[in-house]
Amino acid sequence: MSAISARGLTKRFGRFTAVDQITFDVAAGEVFGFLGANGAGKTTAMKMLVGLLEPTEGEGHVGGFDVRGQRDSIRRNIGYMSQRFSLYGDLTVRENIQLYATIYGLSTAQIVERSTGLLGTLGLSSHANELVGRLPLGWKQKLAFSVALVHQPKIVFLDEPTGGVDPITRRQFWEMIYAAATQGTTVFVTTHYMDEAEYCDRISIMVDGRIAALGTPGELKERFGARSVDDVFVRLARPAAIPASA
Amino acid sequence: MSDSVVVQGLGKRFGDAQALADVSLVVEDGELFGLVGPDGAGKTTLFRILTTLLMPDAGTATVLGLDVVRDLWEIRSRVGYMPGTFSLYPDLSVRENLEFFASVFSTTVERGYDMIAPVYRQLEPFRERRADALSGGMKQKLALSCALVHRPDILLLDEPTTGVDAVSRREFWDQLAALRASGLTIVVSTPYMDEALRCDRVALIQGGRILEIDPPEVIGERYPLPLLAVRGLARHALLLTLREFPHAHSVYPFGEEIHYTDQRAGGDATRIGAELETFLRAKGHQEARAVPAAAGIEDSFMMLMGGGGNRAPRLGVSP
């Protein structure tokens, strides 16, 4: 069974169709890159999948739950890390972990165990009592990712998790993604860094509310005769901007 | 011709955070100069000092030959500044925003028109639209038009392409190239390393310090150790295996390849490639290929950050 499936998923705001009949499947344990230009409908599509927006039409399932009738179950069973830093700057590292673990309904014993484990894995044990607001951005992002996984969800949604992060931290972040995927977690990720698109098992590219291309990075490059995902993206997202001969 | 920007020993501290430490650089007249670094590197602090919005704790800086502390009023009237956060009036139309910025500088849109035309023409059909109803790429074009309308002698653009999609970023850099060709001096910051290639020279900045200043192609050439691009299936496993190679300095994913840096300075990259392939075959990566590669800006940046990256991802690496 797919971890995520969308069948003709559509969202209209008044007369404007933000997401227009998108259909795709993400397999369990897959790293799926969800690309598109600004305004192509990525965020709206993602909001429907994580249970924050009711679709206008179509069907969708995430972790076996229906995006229409079971939005609460979806929210409880997925991990989500938003574009901008989603932790509380005026709480300590440990308090943030405990807060999210509590929100997700973990038992006291589990909370103690997970906090200790997570602090150890991140090498943050000696910083457990520091305010998160005082951590460097790269640390915060990695902590936010770990917190999004604190309740051990089967599926995690990451919305531009590496924006503005230095190149070493960006790559360390992707190694954390790989590690999670290797353990069976399904990863659904958006990014503006086209080199990161190459790290995904498969990618989709949204243009004007529709999925214009979907496949492995290698397949898409071959199909479009392009050298990189960046080239594929530019051709699809703004065909008029590129002369036909380019 | 004088230099457009001269910064010497600049320092700025906020509480116990050293935002800038002993920063020195020179931007020549007519140059497209890039400040490349991640969030928190000090790029915005440097821009705020150059635009006279902040005072430095140490060092000096001149813009167009004017001192940023003493001559602030004259600098302000001659600089075009696009701050990192969208700073136009959302409830004014495109036309009203432009007219407002022109009037602040005691001029008119008409008098600045030829200057803004290459950027503004694409926006003109939407001139009665409210700024908050524009797409990300159009907002960016309006902000650039507003920074140009008083015919500045230098443009200072703080992360104009952050959060903007790859297509709009290309278009924006094409416009900067056109402005540069008209003779305007431009200083622009970006966290996207690939954009460094569009600049005449770049300063790599991290943790408030300048790591290197050079033309982008020179920065790659300076890479001190043998670098190879490795391709294979099962990429994550391949990455972990490469880190076990006894001479590995750093191993990083790089698009569809893995960049492997060897510890042996001056080592023959072709021979190292053969050694690596033998090693990888013995570890079950029959299909893996390792070929010598030229270092790019991002390779150099990571090297200069001190990133011997031959380790599992842990916190505690970034300053």
Tell me how close the Cα of A142 comes to any Cα of chain B, in angstroms.
8
Kindly tell me if the per-residue pLDDT of A60 is higher than 80.
yes
How far, in Å, CA of B267 to CA of B272, rounded?
7
DSSP calls for A54-112: --SEEEEEETTEETTT-HHHHHHHEEEE-SS--S-TTSBHHHHHHHHHHHTT--HHHHH
Residues A122, B315: C-beta atoms closer than 8 Å:
yes
CB contact (8 A) between residue B38 and residue A169: yes
Of A142, A164, A182, the CB nearest to B236: A182
Nearest to A199 among B40, B168, B253 (CB): B253
Instruction: Tell me what pLDDT residue B319 has.
Output: 35
pLDDT of residue B79: 97
Contacting residues of A for B164, CB less than 8 Å apart = 38, 192
- Of the pLDDT bands very low, low, confident and very high (cuts 50, 70, 90), residue A239 is low
Asked if A136 lies within 8 A of B162 by C-beta distance, the reply is: no
- Per residue in B260-296, pLDDT (tens digit) is 999 999 999 999 999 999 999 999 999 999 999 999 9
Tell me, letter by letter, the H, E, C secondary structure of B263-308. CCCCCCHHHHHHHHHHHHHHCCCCCCEEEECCCCHHHHHHHHCCCC
Distance from CA of B211 to the nearest CA of A (A): 14
Q: How far is A69 from chain B (nearest CA, A)?
A: 33
CA end-to-end span of chain A, whole Å?
41
pLDDT of residue B48: 97
**A241 has pLDDT over 70:** no
- B273 contacts chain A (CB < 8 A): no
- What distance in Å separates the CA atoms of residue A36 and residue A237, rounded to the nearest whole number? 7
Element (DSSP H or E) covering residue B47: helix B43-50
Q: What average pLDDT is seen over chain A? A: 90
CA distance A101 to chain B (A): 21
Burial degree of B84 (CB within 10 A; 0-12, 13-18, 19+): middle
Predicted pLDDT of residue A86: 80
Q: Nearest to residue B302, comparing CAs of B220, B218, B201? A: B220
Strand ranges for B207-247 from DSSP E: 209-214, 227-231
B86 touches chain A (CB under 8 A): no
Name the minimum distance, in Å, from the CA of A135 to any CA of chain B. 9
**ipTM computed for the complex:** 0.81
What is the pLDDT at residue A192?
83
Do the bridges between strand A155-159 and strand A186-190 make them parallel or antiparallel, or are there none, so unpaired?
parallel
What type of residue sits at position A94?
A: R
pLDDT of B282 reads 97
Count H helices and E strands in chain A, helices first: 9, 10
Query: In this model, does residue A83 exceed pLDDT 80?
Result: no
CA pair distance A169, B71, nearest whole angstrom: 40
Q: Which residue of B has its CA nearest to A142?
A: B315
- What pLDDT does residue B118 have? 86
Q: In what order do the strands lie in the sheet with A57-62?
A: A16-26, A4-13, A57-62, A65-66
Which residue on chain B is closest to A119 by alpha carbon? B315
Cα separation, B151 vs B148, in Å, equals 5
pLDDT, tens digit (0-9, with 9 covering 90-100), for A105-143 = 999 999 999 999 999 988 889 999 999 998 888 888 889
Q: Can you point out the beta strands (E) in chain B? A: 5-14, 17-27, 32-36, 58-63, 66-67, 79-82, 154-157, 185-190, 201-206, 209-214, 227-231, 248-254, 257-262, 289-292
Nearest by CB to B166, from A166, A171, A194: name it.
Answer: A194
> Do A142 and B168 count as a contact with CB atoms less than 8 A apart?
no
Question: Which pLDDT does position B232 carry in this prediction?
Answer: 92
Is B26:B62 a contact under the CB 8 Å cutoff? no
Could you tell me the two tokens for A38? 């600004």
Q: For position B314, what pLDDT does the model report?
A: 40
Mean pLDDT of A48-55: 94
Write the CB contacts of A220 (distance below 8 Å, at least 6 apart in sequence): A203, A205, A213, A226, A229, A232
**Euclidean distance between CA atoms A186 and A181, whole angstroms:** 6
DSSP state of A131: B
Contact between A229 and A198 under an 8 Å Cβ cutoff? The reply is: yes
Looking at beta carbons, which residues of chain A come within 8 Å of B256?
A: 198, 217-218, 228
Across the interface, do A172 and B313 touch by the CB < 8 Å criterion?
A: yes
Give me the percent of chain A exceeding a pLDDT of 70: 95
Phi/psi at A33 (5° precision): -90, 130
What's the CA gap between B62 and B65, in Å, rounded? 5
DSSP H or E run through A137: helix A137-148
What pLDDT, in 10s, does the model give residues B112-132? 999 999 899 989 999 999 999
Give pLDDT < 50 ranges for chain B.
309-319
How close, in Å, is residue B157 to chain A by CA atoms? 16
Of B135, B171, B315, Cβ closest to residue A142: B315
Mutate to test the interface with A, among B134, B165, B238 (most CBs of A within 10 A): B165
In angstroms, rounded to a whole number, what is the distance separating the alpha carbons of residues A45 and A31?
17
Residues 249-268 of B with CB under 8 A from A: 252-256
For range A167-174, the mean pLDDT: 90
Cβ contact (<8 Å) for A138 and B191?
Answer: no
Two tokens, residue B44: 């915005």
Does A39 contact B135 at a Cβ distance shorter than 8 Å?
Answer: yes
Strand partners, B14: B17
pLDDT of residue B204: 96
Taking the mean position of all CA atoms in its chain, how far away is CA A116? Answer: 25
Asked if the Cβ–Cβ distance from A172 to B298 is below 8 Å, we say no
Nearest CB neighbour to B168, from listed A38, A163, A173: A38
Which is it for strands B185-190 and B154-157: parallel, antiparallel or unpaired? parallel
Interchain contact, A237 vs B165, CB within 8 Å: yes
Q: How far is A166 from chain B (nearest CA, A)?
A: 5
Nearest residue of B to residue A237, measured between CA atoms: B167
